[in-house]
Amino acid sequence: MRNTPDRLLRSEATRQRATFLELFLDLVFVFALTRISARLIADFTDGQSGVYAGLGQALLLFLALWAVWSVTVWSTSWLDPDAPIVQTVIIMTLVGAMTMAVAVPHGFGARASLFAITLVTLQIGRVVFFHVAGHGRPDPQQSIRILFWFGLSAPLWVSGGLVNDGTVRGALWTLAVLIDYAGLFLGWPTPRLGAQRLGVQMIAAEHLAERYQQFLLIALGEAIFVIGLAFSGSEFHTDQTGGFVLALASTVLLWRIYFHVAGGMLGTAVDRSRNPARLATDMAFAHMVMIAGIVLTGVGFELFIAEPLGHLPATWLIAIFGGPVLFLAGRSALEYQVFGRVSRSRLAGLLAFGLLIPAALHLQPLTAGAVAAVVLLGVAGADARRSLRRSPETPTPPY
């Protein structure tokens, strides 16, 4: 009787580790991140005039995919992932997310309608399926809340996918993303029912923390894929080899900065929080920013490996400097969520990037990448020194 609708909620005995089906789902998002990176690389190298529009389009596509993944992870941290109904929803998500991913390269062009209609069908369809198959359990009101908010954004997604004007599409999809994320952040407040985040009754903190960590590792893996692809397609010149080594070292630094203390204590922080549902939601947004930063940093790797010397287009600094800045900003937010404070090294790193921009405009691409790596090395070094001077910290979330 363990997987009947009455037993869909997680229990203390439910395993905390991610299931193999959940890890299988993550493979789809690995592919999705590679498609987003490819879009950005093309925008940066094929014509500087389209970089800003391309960045905005890639961001909207990324946010749509992240929303799909986030709701799935929240659901499996609240519900029993071994229940057949939950597993069916994960498979539905896998198929839908893969369809969205293959549409990403032309997600603002010929495949816009495919991307939008798949997104809407997936987001609404899996809620309806779960509600019907579970006979309204475990929380019929939550299904109504989520459907209410998806019903607000769905017409915007679909109409944006069908229009021929890219500017109109961008405006409609931006509004749709704002609605989707407002609902997720606020707990889908609905007339007469109020608001309630997923998992407010009981959340598997260890499982949720592990899923965030796994997705960040996926993003780092995608960056490694970009590095390998860029270098394997090069002439293996000395400067390109230097760019390859520098990119790998920078990826290691990103890994080190993330997992230093706070990144490895997410589950304990959620367990200790007075409001675990809110903290876990905020952690999702912090990871979203970090992962976006890693993807953008990977684009920067491609740029300075492929063309390490010569003139540095100003827009390339958006990737070479902007990616690490986004990562440090998200990591600073995560540190506050875990410990209620932000290390000076994080703030110093962000300040350093800002101060170095004017000088970096006169550097070669590879040199700019080296400057970014030095800043990250400084942050990681400060973390290491602080660990030697202090005793191990205990998570003290601010709420």
- What residue numbers bound the domain in which 266 lies? 205-389
The count of domains in the chain is 2
179 with 220, same domain? no
- In this structure, the answer to whether residues 53 and 149 fall within a common structural domain is yes
**How far, in Å, CA of 4 to CA of 295, rounded?**
40
Whole-model pTM: value is 0.93
Running along the chain, 399 residues long, what does each successive block of 10 average in pLDDT?
A: 56 73 94 96 80 94 96 86 91 97 95 98 94 80 91 97 95 98 91 79 80 95 96 94 98 96 89 88 95 98 95 95 98 96 95 97 97 98 87 88
CB atoms within 10 A of CB 233: 11
Whether residue 179 sits in one domain with residue 222: no
Residue 149, both tokens: 């908010």
Does residue 58 lie in a domain region?
A: yes
Q: By the 8 A CB rule, do 114 and 46 touch?
A: no
pLDDT of residue 162: 97
Q: What is the pLDDT of residue 2?
A: 44
DSSP states of 17-70 as a string?
Answer: SPPHHHHHHHHHHHHHHHHHHHHHHHHHHH-GGGHHHHHHHHHHHHHHHHHHHH
pLDDT at 241: 97
- With beta carbons less than 8 A apart as the criterion, state whether 77 and 211 touch: yes
Q: 218 and 111, same structural domain? A: no
Residues 173 and 250 in one domain: no
Domain boundary among 120, 153, 186: 186
Task: Please state the three-class secondary structure of 4-18 as a single string.
Answer: CHHHCECCCCCCCCC
